[in-house]
Structure 1
Amino acid sequence: MSPTTSPARPGRKRGRGGLARLGPLPWIGPAVLLIALVVLWPVYEMVRTSFLKISSSGFVRGSAGFDKYRQLLEEPALPSVVVSTVVWTLVVVTATMVLSLALAQLFNQRFPGRRLTRWALIAPWAASVVMTAIGFKWMLDRTAGVLNTLMTDLGIVDDPKDWLGGPATAWPWMMFVAVFVSLPFTTYTLLAGLQTVPAEVYEAARVDGTTPWQIYVRITLPLLRPALLVGMVINLINVFNSFPIIWSMTRGGPDSDTATTTVFMYQLKNADIGQSAAMSVVNFALVLLMVALFLKATRWNQEES
């Protein structure tokens, strides 16, 4: 019996060894495939399209080389759109992080109704961004908006204002909405970071006579650094690429006065799909550069001394 059964055992061992050599690949393979189909393939198509001449009906008319990029750089509205995008991103991300840090500190304390207020903060996150933006747009409507009606009744303004009709008033309101919908995620990210700080650390600092401000600066903020980095990076990407808020409220108008580069990209598609794809490539490169510079500046992968 042993001569007939012994050859099978090494075979089974070799089979198990071969599967073991694949490591985690059988488990991460589906995720890698999904990323390739959902992320890498669209990026490839986006770059390829930016080098093509495509008619308004969608037919490819040949190669365009770098003409679409040259035409994009010659767009008269591009400089103002880039400046608006930078201001939009910096203001919204900074305001979101500051307010989220304050709210996280508040929710980390014990007070009556804490659970209810935590649930209430989820509402802007649970609601659709488009629905929220359209709700604010109706509220700011010149003829039937709640804000104009209230301000007129109270005598604050003589005539209703077109809050979304010009960039001077439209930008602040859109920034307010962007911060409003960004607060829940960032607040809960920072709150989770705060709750990982051991209470013993605070108790030891108080015993040593450390003031509350010193505790916050020397203990809380350094230990909260990973959560701050996560919240800021995700906010940078989301706010820079933000489309639903601006498109729902102003459609980037008048002209491109309230457009970011993402909205401007969508506006270009009606005139030239290839040029719109070129703007998409530039946007993608800007996001990668922005995140890389931010992570380098914050030295995210270096241990605290």
Structure 2
Amino acid sequence: MIRTSLRRIDTSGVDQGPAGLDKYRKLFADPRLPDVLTWTAVWTVAVVALTMLISLALAQLFNQRFPGRRITRWALIAPWAASVLMTAIGFRWMLDQVAGVLNRLLLDLGLIDSAEAWTGDAAHAKPWLVAVAVFVSLPFTTYTLLAGLQTVPGEVYEAARVDGASRPQTYLRITLPLLRPAFLVALVINLINVFNSFPIIWGMTQGGPNADTATTTVFMYMLRSYDVAESAALSVVNFAAVIVMVLVFLKVSGWKETDR
């Protein structure tokens, strides 16, 4: 990717010689890039934050004994087991303005007067993209946190009850600190996966209209039709961004403390 980003390659794939940093200059001069970068940041933070919050609640629920727990655990695997692209296309058809089941349901209930183009513009599409991304991210994160919860010794909770700790105190001072290693693993992997996610946005909106719903990964794929080298330049920038993002996060979170 680095080598390709420094070459001049035409649309037929013929290498026409070195280009230096011209492709990077062209990339950063693209008027669409600021909006793409902003949406990428919003997309990543929103999906990861919602996923971690909901997964923490689900993991806590699945760590309890209740009727049907095994079935609900199996049901949670479904979004993980299915193809992400297939899931995205399924949601796209569900949200379709003409044949979508969501419009049909809302019309029958009298909640809307006319069918909406849920993926036809960025304002409507972005919340749905986030929702679908959270839906497919929940299984891995929930099971990672659940595994962490199940490693907490029961004796610790017994000691807390003997000492008179309330449930909120026990959760904040015992459960969350002991869950930190699993939480950190789930958060970092989810951060990388969401930042690099391609099938959901491409399957539902293809980054449109006019790259309004494209993240840097999707925008990189869109650029390859016009300039392979510029697309490669964005790929290099993406890779560097992931490395920096993870290193900064690990530094701020004090990840080395989890080894003590």
The reply to whether TM is greater than 0.5 is yes
Residue in structure 1 matched with residue 135 of structure 2 by the alignment: 180
Match for residue 159 of structure 2 among 204, 215, 235: 204
Deviation at 1:153, TM superposition (A): 1.2
Cα distance between partner residues in 1 of 2:96 and 2:247: 40
Match for residue 246 of structure 1 among 173, 180, 201: 201
Cα distance between partner residues in 2 of 1:49 and 1:113: 54
Residue in structure 1 matched with residue 6 of structure 2 by the alignment: 51
Q: How does 1:41-120 map to 2 (within 5 A)?
A: 46-120=1-75
- Amino acid paired to 2:9: I
Match for residue 161 of structure 1 among 85, 91, 116: 116
Match for residue 286 of structure 1 among 226, 241, 255: 241
- Amino acid paired to 1:120: A
Cα distance between partner residues in 1 of 2:81 and 2:20: 44
Report the CA distance shift for 1:297/1:304 in structure 2 as closer, same or farther (over 3 A). same
Residue 233 of structure 2: SS of its match in structure 1? Answer: helix
CA contact 2:6–2:18 (8 Å) conserved in 1 = yes
Residue 65 of structure 2: SS of its match in structure 1? Answer: coil
Q: Name the structure, 1 or 2, with higher relative contact order (CA <8 Å, separation 6+).
A: 2
Deviation at 1:303, TM superposition (A): 4.7
Cα distance between partner residues in 2 of 1:238 and 1:267: 19
Residue in structure 1 matched with residue 176 of structure 2 by the alignment: 221
Residue in structure 1 matched with residue 101 of structure 2 by the alignment: 146
Cα distance between partner residues in 2 of 1:274 and 1:292: 27
Percent identity, please. 68
Cα distance between partner residues in 1 of 2:91 and 2:187: 25
Structure 1 gaps, min length 5: 1-45
Q: Do structure 1's residue 274 and structure 2's residue 237 form an aligned pair? A: no
Residue in structure 1 matched with residue 81 of structure 2 by the alignment: 126
Deviation at 1:154, TM superposition (A): 1.1
Q: How does the TM-score come out when normalised to structure 2?
A: 0.99
Structure 2 gaps, min length 5: none
Residue 61 of structure 1: SS of its match in structure 2? Answer: strand
Cα distance between partner residues in 1 of 2:63 and 2:108: 40
Report the CA distance shift for 1:260/1:303 in structure 2 as closer, same or farther (over 3 A). closer
Residue in structure 2 matched with residue 233 of structure 1 by the alignment: 188
CA contact 2:48–2:194 (8 Å) conserved in 1 = yes
Residue 251 of structure 1: SS of its match in structure 2? Answer: coil
CA contact 2:181–2:258 (8 Å) conserved in 1 = no
Cα distance between partner residues in 2 of 1:204 and 1:183: 32
Cα distance between partner residues in 1 of 2:173 and 2:250: 21
Residue 17 of structure 2: SS of its match in structure 1? Answer: strand
Deviation at 1:304, TM superposition (A): 7.9
Computed over aligned residues only, the root mean square deviation of the Cα atoms, in angstroms, reads 0.8
Cα distance between partner residues in 2 of 1:152 and 1:103: 32
Deviations 1:221-279 (A, max 9, x none): 00000000000000000000000000000000001100000001011111100000000
Residue 89 of structure 1: SS of its match in structure 2? Answer: helix
Cα distance between partner residues in 1 of 2:90 and 2:218: 20
Residue 255 of structure 2: SS of its match in structure 1? Answer: coil
Deviation at 1:88, TM superposition (A): 0.1
Cα distance between partner residues in 2 of 1:72 and 1:242: 20
Q: How many residues align?
A: 260
Q: How does the TM-score come out when normalised to structure 1?
A: 0.84
Deviations 1:37-64 (A, max 9, x none): xxxxxxxxx1100000001010100000
Match for residue 136 of structure 1 among 91, 98, 105: 91
